[in-house]
Amino acid sequence: MAGLKELRTRLNAVKSTKKITTAMKLVAASKFKKATSALEKNKHYALLVENAAARVLLEYQKEEQTKKITHILPPLLGNFQNARNYLLIVFSSERGLCGSYNQNVAKAVIKRINTLKKEKKSFKIACYGKKAYEMFSSFL
- What residues contact residue 87 under an 8 Å CB cut-off, 6+ apart? 123, 124, 125, 126
Q: Are 70 and 64 in contact (CB under 8 A)?
A: yes
Give the active site residues.
Answer: 98
- What residues contact residue 113 under an 8 Å CB cut-off, 6+ apart? 88, 123, 139
Q: Are 122 and 85 in contact (CB under 8 A)?
A: yes
The number of C-alpha atoms within 13 Å of 57 and in the hemisphere containing its C-beta is 11
